[in-house]
Chain A
Amino acid sequence: GDSVTQMEGPVTLSEEAFLTINCTYTATGYPSLFWYVQYPGEGLQLLLKATKADDKGSNKGFEATYRKETTSFHLEKGSVQVSDSAVYFCAREAGGTSYGKLTFGQGTILTVHP
């Protein structure tokens, strides 16, 4: 079935460090891919998305490129801030009759220190 695997956390970085959070997905069909962010005690917010191979999604300095050949959608940011501390979820769209339904990875906790 559809699945998404994220790198295990938690990830702890100093401010202005480079961030990578790895995400790979099962290669059934050509799903849209998403990154969501969750701040403490809140729901999830869409961070960025990509709908086809080689698309790059970007928002707030974060980027992720849809890599069909490696079935990956790694999240990157060149210089993190304390305010980026949150939980990050990678997700893929389901296929078949459940089109649109999202399957999420387990989430990666990011903590950024001043």
Chain B
Amino acid sequence: DGGITQSPKYLFRKEGQNVTLSCEQNLNHDAMYWYRQDPGQGLRLIYYSQIVNDFQKGDIAEGYSVSREKKESFPLTVTSAQKNPTAFYLCASQKTGMNTEAFFGQGTRLTVV
């Protein structure tokens, strides 16, 4: 089955630590996205990539980093510079071009302890 997989589903991090969230897709999509979801604030775009080896900052990129070495993979690192990292993180992928829907993973809930 084609789809997009995020792991882990739940993640706990100590303050001051970096942590990496995994996102893999086998839909052959060129574009991939990372969103952060907080209660009452909808989805905010962190980073996106429209092609391998290239990515752009979204609206809230500070304290995050990404890489896109393979078409299938778009990992997100939450660094110690992110002041309030506790949130629900969603990864999505999409065919490039107009009028295309985004497909979402099941999300990773990150909690700083």
Instruction: Using CB atoms and an 8 Å cutoff, list the residues of chain A in contact with chain B.
Output: 32, 34, 36, 41-46, 49, 51, 89, 93, 99-102, 104-107
Contacts and interface: CB of A to CB of B under 8 A. Distances in A.
A107 B42 contact: yes
Interface of B: 6, 31, 33, 35, 40-43, 45, 48, 50, 90, 92, 94-107
Contact of A104 (B43, B99, B101): B43
Given A42-B106, A43-B90, A100-B94, A89 B42 contact: yes
Given A43-B104, A44-B90, A101-B33, A93 B43 contact: no
Given A89-B42, A100-B31, A106-B42, A46 B106 contact: no
Contacts of A100: 31, 50, 94-98, 100
Nearest to B97: A100
A32 B99 contact: yes
A99 B97 CA distance: 7
B97 A42 contact: no
Nearest to A104: B43
Given A100-B50, A101-B45, A102-B33, 9 more contacts: A42-B106, A43-B92, A89-B42, A89-B43, A93-B98, A93-B99, A100-B95, A100-B97, A100-B98
14 contacts: A43-B90, A43-B92, A43-B105, A43-B106, A44-B104, A45-B104, A49-B101, A93-B98, A93-B99, A99-B97, A100-B98, A100-B100, A106-B41, A107-B42
Contacts of A46: 101-103
Contact of B107 (A43, A89, A99, A101): A43
A89 to B, nearest CB: 7
Contact of B42 (A49, A93, A105): A105
A45 B105 CA distance: 9
Interface centre among A32, A36, A99 (most CB of B within 10 A): A99
A89 B45 CA distance: 14
Contacts of A105: 42
Contacts of A45: 104
